[in-house]
Structure 1
C-alpha cells in the first residue's frame, strides 16, 4: 500500500508527482463538490421555508461557490506538490500579460461579483438596458442569461449591468404607469372620447383599478390633423406590458368604431400653381 501511494508517476527537475498527490487532489475537489451541494441544499431548504426570494438564494449560493472553488484551487495545487507562493512569483510576468490580454474577461468577472454582492440585479428581476426590457434568468461568473419579450435567450456580459444605465423595474415599490396614445378627428365629442377610452380598460386583469391607481385620460395636444389623447393606467405586468397595451389598442379601435369616432390619418395637400 505504501509503495502504491509513493509510486512516482513522473519526475521533472526536482518535482515528483506521486499517486498520493493525485489522490489528495481528487479528494479535495470531491470534498468541495460535496460541501457545495450540502450547503446549497441547506440554504435552499431554509429560504423556501422562510418564503424568501429565489434571486437572493441564488446570489448567496453563487458567492459561496466562488469562495470555495478559489480555496479548493489553492489547496489542490498545494496537494500536487507545488508551492503556490513560488508559483505565483515565478509566473508574475505571465499573469500580467494574461491580465492585459484578458482585461475584458476580468472586467466581466469583477462585475459579476459586484452584482452578486450588491444585489442590485437578481434572478427573475425585470430590467431595462437602453430600449430592451429583459428578464434575468441566470447570473454566472462572467455573463448573465436573460430573456427578451420575444422569449429569446440572450447572453449579456456582466459589465453591461455595472457600466450602463440600467432600470430595474422589479425594485419599484409601486405599480408602474404606462400610457396608450391616440388621435381623434377634430369634429369628435371630446367627452365621449374620454368615456370610450376609460371603457377600453375596464375589467382588464392586468390593469389596476384601485382608488390610488385609477386609469385616467389626458388631453395632450392639438395635432396637425387630430386631437391627441393619452390613456394612462398602472400595471404590475411589466415584462408582458406590450401585450396589455396591444389589447387596450384593440379595445379602443372597437369602441371607437361603435361610437363613430374617427382616428384620422395624415393628409398631404399639394397645391399646383
Structure 2
C-alpha cells in the first residue's frame, strides 16, 4: 500500500509552486472518463425522451447533446485545472494576452464558433434540412461547433463555415415542413390552341404521386416570345430533394402529350433577307 502511495505521489513535473504528480494524471483520467460515461447516458436519455414524444426531426437530439457536451467539457476542464492547484486567473490572463496577439487571426474562427452556437440554439437549421448555398443544394448531415457538413445531390460533401449560414443568403427548402412551389416552362408554336395547351399541361401532372393537389397546379400564359407562345406550369410538392427528377418526369409527359395532340414546340427562327445590288 505504501509502495502504491509512493507511485501516486511521484512528481512528474515540478515548476515553482506547481507540480504534476501521477495522482494528478489519474485524477484527470477519472474526471474525463466519468464525463464521457455521463454524456453517453445523457445522450441515450435525451434521444429516448424525444423519440417518445413523436414528430421529432432527425438530428434534434444530436444538436441538444452537442450543446451539453461543449458545456460539460468546459466545466470539466475548469474543475481539472482547479484540482491541480492552478490559479484560474492566471489562465485567464494568459488567454487574454494570447487573444490580443492573435485577435485578427482568430477573429474568423470565433465568428464561426459563435455562429455554430446560435444555429444549435435557435435551430433554424437542423440535421436533415435541405439548404441551398451559392446555387448548390445539399442535405445537412452534421452541424459542428465551427462548421456544418452538407451532402449535395452528386454525393459531394461540402464543409461550410457556420458564419456563412448565419450571415449570407441561404435558402432552407424544408424549414416550413410543407409543400414548396416549383415550375416548368415550355414554348409552343404560334397558331396553337392555347386552351388545349393549358389542358395538356395540367394533364401532365395529373395523378403524379409527388405533386400536391392542394394547392392545385396552375398554368400561366406568360408572354408572346420571338418564336413561341410561352407557358409556365406551376405546381406544389413536398419532394424538394429530388425535384430535378420530378421536373424531368413532367417534361417527358408534356412532350408525349404534345406529340399525341400535334402541338409543336418550335425552335428559334430568324429570317435572313439577302439584298443583291444589280450593277447598272
Shorter-chain TM band: over 0.9
**Of residues 30, 35, 48 in structure 2, which corresponds to 1:32?**
35
Distance 1:61 1:263 in 2: 56
Assess if the C-alpha contact under 8 Å between 1:136 and 1:146 holds in 2. Answer: yes
Distance 2:8 2:206 in 1: 78
Please state if 1:49 is matched with 2:52. Answer: yes
- Deviation digits for residues 65-100 of structure 1, max 9, x if unmatched? 110111112222233442221122244212322332
Matched, 1:59 2:63: yes
Q: Work out the CA distance in 1 between the residues paired with 2:48 and 2:95.
A: 43
What runs of 5+ residues in structure 2 fail to find an aligned partner?
276-280
Q: Secondary structure at the match of 1:208?
A: coil
Which structure 1 residue ranges, 5 or more long, are not aligned? none
Say which of 82, 85, 90 aligns to 1:86: 90
SS of match in other structure, 2:59: helix
Mapping 1:81-160, distance limit 5 Å? 81-160=85-164
Question: 1:125 Cα shift?
Answer: 1.1
Task: Work out whether residues 5 and 19 of structure 1, in 8 Å CA contact, stay in contact via their aligned partners in 2.
Answer: yes
Of the three residues 200, 208, 219, the one matched with 2:204 is 200
In terms of Rg, which structure is larger? 2
TM-score (norm 2): 0.92
Q: After superposition, give the CA deviation of every residue in 1:90-133 in whole Å (9 maximum; x if it has no partner).
A: 44212322332121111111100000111111111122224222
Tell me the number of residue pairs that the alignment of Structure 1 and Structure 2 aligns.
Answer: 271
1:268 to 251, 254, 270: 270
Give 1:162-177 correspondences, 5 Å limit. Answer: 162-172=166-176, 174-177=178-181
Q: Is the 8 A contact 1:29 1:76 kept in 2?
A: no
C-alpha RMSD over aligned residues: 1.5
TM-score w.r.t. the length of structure 1 is 0.94
Q: CA deviation at 1:173?
A: 5.3
